[in-house]
Amino acid sequence: MTTSELLQPRYLCAAPDGAEHYPNSPFEVGEIIILVDTIHPTYDHYSNGVEGVSVDDVLKHPHLFKALPWYHGRAVEDMPEYIRPKDDNSKVHKVKWEKDDLSNSGWCLSVDEPEFWIDACFDNIDIATLSDYEAYKNQTDGTK
């Protein structure tokens, strides 16, 4: 997945106390909806690919639509190959991902080499790209 695809806003359709989503809702509780860009910004909406709901309605009803973090519900192959620490965004690391139900985030990652697995703390990382990684490697290789 591209960085923009990973960062595309997504919402989980929720319901208080296990009730239906809302009367006559086109969505099921637990369904994930994503932002659909349209030609005119007034018509942007969230959709499950079949039905849609306006951005305004999603934002007005946070008890029915829960914003999801970018990593929630992703497959290992969808996770970014490169990250940068938020506290030092001059560094870029190539990473491997593994699902881990025992970690706080549900994910572990291994940064560069040697392989060392740690709990992924998503509050402390940003997604990076291959070009970011190459620029970082060129910069650090030139300082050795």
- Calpha distance 34→48 (Å, rounded): 7
Could you please report the per-residue DSSP string of 87-113? Answer: T-TT--EEEEEEE-TTSSSSEEEEESS
Chain mean pLDDT for the chain:
82
Question: Would you give the end-to-end CA distance of the chain in angstroms?
Answer: 33
pTM: 0.74
- Calpha distance 111→55 (Å, rounded): 37
Query: Mean per-residue pLDDT for 103-130?
Result: 77
pLDDT at residue 39 is higher than 70: no
State pLDDT tens for residues 61-88: 898 899 998 888 889 999 999 998 888 8
Q: In the beta sheet, which residues pair with residue 99?
A: 107
Higher pLDDT, 53 or 134: 134
Domain segments of the chain as ranges: 3-67, 76-142
